[in-house]
Structure 1
Amino acid sequence: MLAAAGVLAGCSTGANAVDVNNGGEFRFVAGTPAGEVIPEDQRAAAPEFSGTLLGGDDFDSGQLAGNVAVLNFWGSWCAPCRVETPEFSEVAEETADDGVQFLGINVKETSEQFAVAFVDRFAISFPSLYDPRGEVALAFRDYPANAIPSTIVLDPQYRVAAVYTGEVAQDDLRQVLDRVLEEG
């Protein structure tokens, strides 16, 4: 029971919030039910963003348009991320030929080398933005991506199709991706 409470608490600390450098905060809101997809006529456009990938390349969110995209907000300091992110890497490899792109968004790291070590240790196959101040997560705050881990699935029209707060099981993610892929 205590382990379940720890998972439900996500990666927040203190009074369910973790301060970030720019004054925003990350907090656990509530776990999202499995397989919840926003109806197509109720989807809103995702905010545009850009940044630097781990390793130094520039990234612009326009690169995701036309594909189903999975944005995974994670941190090396987050225990559920250590389970979820490697599982997402498997799903990313399985779905790449279907037009699914994965992008990690690493938040609230004190050093980029911690994020790089996490990616190397778990052999993560998809790229990740380095977002130590949580600026991209704050751009998605209406969904809310300020809970870590959070996952947002975008449809090919760059609209938010599904939002998860907390850890997502591989099978649940696959079901949502199948549904969104079938829409196209």
Structure 2
Amino acid sequence: MAPSLSRRTLLAAATAATAAALAGCSSETDETSRGQQYEFTGATPPATVLDEAARAPAPAFDGELLDASQFESSSLTGDIAVINFWGSWCPPCRVETPEFQAVYTDVADQGVQFLGIDVKDQRQLAIAFIDSVDATYPSLFDPRGEVALAFRGFPANVVPSTILLDRQGRVAAVYTGPVSGDDLRTAIELLLEEGPA
């Protein structure tokens, strides 16, 4: 017996939503980026670290971390910052976050800060996710996607997305989709080579 029309419609809608989510996770980086090219080996296509003259200041933002302490983006200034937009509901984030944690452990004492932005999530699910992948860097709780909206021009409208800031707080690289730990290390090394602020 064939399924009812409403059941088919629901199935089609669910399939379309899943396809859209997966497509978002593998979307390409902004083609207007210019600068030094370097080769990526992970799921994200080759991307660009912008020339210093082409970098725009990151928007200021603040909010509450998952541990309920307050955060202001001004605390990132002077360091290289890796900002990763994630959600406990995002399958690629389960692969990406442990790799980011490994990179964070290696570079934290070199003037590199990591900040997760937990987007459109429930706090208890986000905390359980962080605990399950042993991530120790802080994450901002952004249930309405307000911080992601502040970065809309860069863009950060796909989860996962990662934005690297240079020591002057300017956007130096944008990745839409998952990034491997090796590729993230390469980008951070390029920014570290630029020297102090």
Same fold judged by TM-score > 0.5?
yes
Q: Which residue of 2 aligns with 1:61?
A: 73
Q: Which residue of 2 aligns with 1:95?
A: 107
SS in 2 for 1:87: helix
Conserved 8 A contact 1:69-1:102: yes
Conserved 8 A contact 1:81-1:149: yes
Cα deviation, residue 46, structure 1: 0.2
Q: Which residue of 1 aligns with 2:184?
A: 173
**1:107-166, CA deviations, whole angstroms, 9 ceiling, x for partnerless residues?**
011x20000000001100100000000000010011110110000000000000000000
TM-score normalised to the size of structure 1? 0.84
Count the aligned residue pairs.
163
Closer/same/farther in 2, CA of residues 106 and 176 from structure 1, 3 Å limit: same
TM-score normalised to the size of structure 2? 0.79
Name the structure with the higher helix share: 2
Q: Which residue of 1 aligns with 2:54?
A: 42
Q: Which residue of 2 aligns with 1:5?
A: none
CA–CA distance in structure 1, aligned partners of residues 26 and 152 of structure 2: 11
| Alignment-mate amino acid for residue 67 of structure 2 | G
| Alignment-mate amino acid for residue 137 of structure 2 | F
Conserved 8 A contact 2:25-2:92: no
CA–CA distance in structure 1, aligned partners of residues 158 and 110 of structure 2: 28
CA–CA distance in structure 1, aligned partners of residues 47 and 186 of structure 2: 7
CA–CA distance in structure 2, aligned partners of residues 136 and 76 of structure 1: 17
Q: Which residue of 2 aligns with 1:128?
A: 139
CA–CA distance in structure 1, aligned partners of residues 46 and 113 of structure 2: 20
Cα deviation, residue 36, structure 1: 1.7
Q: Which residue of 2 aligns with 1:77?
A: 89
Report percent identity of matched pairs: 58
Conserved 8 A contact 1:47-1:139: yes
Cα deviation, residue 29, structure 1: 7.6
SS in 1 for 2:164: strand
CA–CA distance in structure 1, aligned partners of residues 26 and 51 of structure 2: 22
